[in-house]
Amino acid sequence: MNRAQGASELLRKRAERVLAGGVSSDARRLPNGTLFVDHARGAYLYDVDGNRYIDYVLGQGPALLGHAAGPVVEAVAAQAGRGISYSAQHRDEVELAEALARVVPSAEKVRFNSVGSEAVHGALRLARGHTGRGKVVKFEGHYHGWLDPVLYSVHPPVDAAGPARRPQLVPGTGGQQLSSAADVLLAPWNDIEALTELMERHGDDVAAVIMEPVLCNTGVIMPVEGYLRAVRDLCRRTGALLVFDEVITGFRLALGGAQEYLGVTPDLAVFGKAIAGGMQLSAFTGRAEIMDRISSGQVAHAGTFNAHPVAVAAARATLEVLERDRDDLYPRVFRLGALLADGLREAARQAGVPLVVTGPGPMIQTYVTESDDVRDYRDFAATDLAASARLHGLLMDRGVNIVPRGLWFLSTAHTEADVHETVAAAADALRALGTGR
């Protein structure tokens, strides 16, 4: 099944002449060709060749209400008519911060940014300013943005990454300022003993322990039972701040994010993506006594586009829908995700493909692997990543768009009919994968 690709191919050639690498973000380099979108609506993308895709990428997760959701579009258009950028305070940002403080357990006070990488940078600077310490613990396989101080050991080559229980820092890119490595400590995730040993060696120097509370940038890996509470207790004992990077999980797993869903409250949390339904807005939040380091001027935080009026309008509209309809929307997305996961498992069984499907529903992950236990980055790296890439291409050819590494996002715009159509397309793709076609 071949997609029409004539217009896309012409655009690809033009893009390669004027865009570095032919794309504006490395995440858009797909293993099976470049996707040039013409428009998106609800659960669907339409490319410049007229192909329709049931979309499970959703702008890398933020379109929780679906593409071009009516309330968000209306709010954006109305605000654009009142002014696009003020470089001044406005009513909507206060009301949005009040909404975040109302629904997010950790959000006593808020600061806004444009993208997740900035908000992570702000949260870690604040943690250092509050504690007077210099080091940050991150976990192998976790992604916290593309800036130098945290771009280590996201998806490192395993043969360069050291022992599994004492992994070694691996820079994420050429040109990275490697002096920042002196301030980063690396631990395996879901291993409280390894983290405890690391904190016993360095605890007096650790300002923050940062993690994705559900590991979404390396599969969709849930914390093992009791792990987050143990990390929470360890941070309290050592005086380090616990920081949740909820750029993906925020508002997607629950209105209050993974911290509500999993019942563990961090000291600071970072949000992005779904906060504004696809507009460029991020935030870091936390306890007032910590956030007030900014208020007092001890820790600097600035940005011309912070609390951008159009993005804030989109966020207010998004949160209004999520808060008003939470008792209907969240159960429906969980139910659809479970239906999709079950359908994919059965399709893989019938095709004879060893496919493992994990995740709570609003996001799921498919792995081509014989293992049924993926708990950390090393387990993820041991799956058949090449087969997952082939499956991505086979799905695209059949009108289903997922994140190439096997990540699927659900939205409130998806329907049971979409799921059934997806499972049928996936069954055909898996048969082709299984036979090597």
**Secondary structure E strands in 49-141:** 52-55, 109-113, 135-139
* pLDDT confidence of residue 321: 97
* pLDDT confidence of residue 78: 97
* pLDDT confidence of residue 21: 87
Closest CA to 265 of 274, 256, 277: 256
Closest CA to 81 of 395, 309, 258: 309
Buried/exposed 124-152: b ≥16 CB within 10 Å, e otherwise: bbbbbbbbebebbbbbbbbbbbbebbbbb
Q: Which of 47, 92, 191, 245 is catalytic?
A: 245
* pLDDT confidence of residue 124: 97
* pLDDT confidence of residue 249: 96
* pLDDT confidence of residue 378: 96
Residues 231, 236, 240, 242: what is their CA dihedral angle, to the nearest 10 degrees?
Answer: 50
Matching residue, tokens 């058949």: 384
Catalytic-residue membership of 227: no
Q: Which of 44, 53, 56, 143 is catalytic?
A: 143
* pLDDT confidence of residue 76: 96
Catalytic-residue membership of 109: no
Residue 113's beta-bridge partner residues?
A: 282
* pLDDT confidence of residue 435: 86
Q: Are 221 and 262 in contact (CB under 8 A)?
A: no
- Residues 128-187 pLDDT 10s: 999 999 999 999 999 999 999 999 999 999 999 999 999 999 999 999 999 999 999 999
* pLDDT confidence of residue 295: 76
| Domains of the chain listed by start with CATH number | 6-68+326-435 (3.90.1150.10), 70-324 (3.40.640.10)
Q: Write out residues in the chain with pLDDT < 70, as ranges.
A: 1-2, 437
Tokens found for residue 311: 């993005």
* pLDDT confidence of residue 323: 96
Q: Which of 109, 135, 138, 273 is catalytic?
A: 273
Catalytic-residue membership of 143: yes
